[in-house]
Structure 1
Amino acid sequence: MKKLLICLLLLSATGASAQQDATIIKHDFETIVAYTHQKNMDKVIEMTYPQIFKIMPRAQMKAMANGALDGMGIKSIFEEVPLMLKLSPVKKLANASVCLGRYNQSMVLEFKNGALIDMITKTKMGDTKVEKIGSNKVRMKGTQYLLAIKDTYTNGTWKYLRYDDEDAATNAKILSKEILAAATQLKNGLYAK
């Protein structure tokens, strides 16, 4: 009887921990998306998985995010759309825990140079649809993915990394094979939902 009681207590503690992680991740996902829309790159970088900075230093990432489009004469405006956030279950691995989130995003790009519009509308961008909405504007609308990771690099806290197809090569350089395999499995599960 005593062993059964201990097992039940352990199971309920594990369930409570998983629920707590899911609540934290959901809140963080909504927060990081809001910071992105506000173009508050300092806050986004604070929430980013630290291993990415081995490939791209923080200052470079911030400069790229803030100036890449502006430097090409493109103004970006995030539209407020329902996130329709879907989270995978938290998956515990040998050396990490991961959770994948899928959400909707819509952004209008306004071009100073109209010649770039044709190039953008013809480029394939995974789950993102591009439509011309004016002589110098396009709307990019689609599904985005963020991977939540808790491991030794994050000091036991949740940190986040874009997990779209365009980021696959970068992610392969910084994530363990175990995390990559789990994230692929979680992404396939979210596609099925």
Structure 2
Amino acid sequence: MKALPLHTIKAVFTVMFVVVFTSINFAQEVSEDSIKEIDSMASKMFTNMNNRDYDAIIEMTHPKVFDIVPKETMVSVFKSTFEGNSEFSIEIPKQIPEYKISDIFKDEEGGSDYAFVSYDMEMSMTFNNETFDEDTKETMVKMMKMQGMDAEFVSNKTVHLNMLNRMTILIKDESTNNKWAMINYDPDSPLFFQLLSATVIEKAKSYYQDLMIAQKKKD
């Protein structure tokens, strides 16, 4: 019983954002234009989530995702997640969180440019068919902490989550028609490894570890 809520939370988080360092020197004007594009896309990503604009989220997602998961299936899962279902309902504040944009890196072998957007996200989750006693809540809070989430139960069935250092990878190459597309950083997902090159995966891991170290210094 204890494992089910954590599994559900992780599944919800993965869906929410499916949508989602190598040094590089390039002309200043290219850098400025690209960073403006990335900043605009990051802002749009959160705006579309706030508006529950599933079609817009789909359009921003890396096209290779749909070689594995059909668009219709993903839209259905989005609706079930954000509009509630028999197991749980979630509430996400309609706001654009503060986010950090990395430098832009180049995967010479894969022929892609990529960058990372990191942010904290808040949400509340209510379990419709379960209630938890104090011991179970305490255990769940500790386990969620191990998943990078600060959790606080506001009732016996509702938990408020602050998900720290979430990260989305923005990438553009021939497969995206040289437009920026997003993929959620989820090293536990086999899908993640199927879509990205080893270079991007390694640099994403390194960047994420740096975020975690910086967070540790703050705590």
Q: TM-score, normalised by structure 2?
A: 0.72
Matches within 5 A, 1:40-119: 40-68=53-81, 70-80=84-94, 83-94=97-108, 95-115=111-131
Deviation at 1:166, TM superposition (A): 4.4
Structure having the larger proportion of residues in strand: 1
Q: Does 1:149 pair with 2:171?
A: yes
- Check whether the contact 2:151–2:160 (CA below 8 A) recurs between aligned residues: yes
RMSD: 2.6
Q: In terms of mean alpha carbon deviation, does 18-27 or 116-125 score higher?
A: 116-125
In the alignment, the residues of structure 2 paired with residue 180 and residue 84 of structure 1 have an alpha-carbon distance, to the nearest angstrom, of 24
Amino acid corresponding to residue 195 of structure 2 in structure 1: I
After superposing the two structures, state which structure 1 stretch, 130-139 or 42-51, moved more: 130-139
Q: Indicate conservation of the 8 Å contact 1:101/1:146, yes or no.
A: yes
SS in 2 for 1:56: coil
Please tell me whether the aligned partners of residues 99 and 186 of structure 1 are also in contact (alpha carbons under 8 angstroms): no
Deviation per CA, 1:60-118: give whole Å up to 9, x if none: 11111211472333221112566221111000221000101111110111232233795
After the TM superposition, list the runs of 4 or more consecutive aligned residues in structure 1 that deviate by more than 6 angstroms: none
| Higher radius of gyration, 1 or 2 | 1
C-alpha displacement of 1:142: 1.4
Higher RCO (Cα < 8 Å, 6 or more apart): 2
Q: Is the 2:150–2:163 contact (alpha carbons within 8 Å) kept by the matching residues of 1?
A: yes
1:121 to 120, 134, 140: 140
Q: How does 1:152-163 map to 2 (within 5 A)?
A: 152-163=174-185
Structure 2: gaps of 5 or more residues: 1-24, 215-219
Q: Which amino acid aligns with 1:112?
A: N
Distance in 2 between residues matched to 1:130 and 1:26, nearest whole Å: 29
Identity %: 18
The alpha carbon displacement at 1:53 in A equals 1.1
Q: Identify which range, 15-24 or 122-131, moves more after superposition.
A: 122-131
Unpaired runs of at least 5, structure 1: 1-10
Q: CA deviation at 1:138?
A: 1.0
Aligned amino acid, residue 59 of structure 2: E
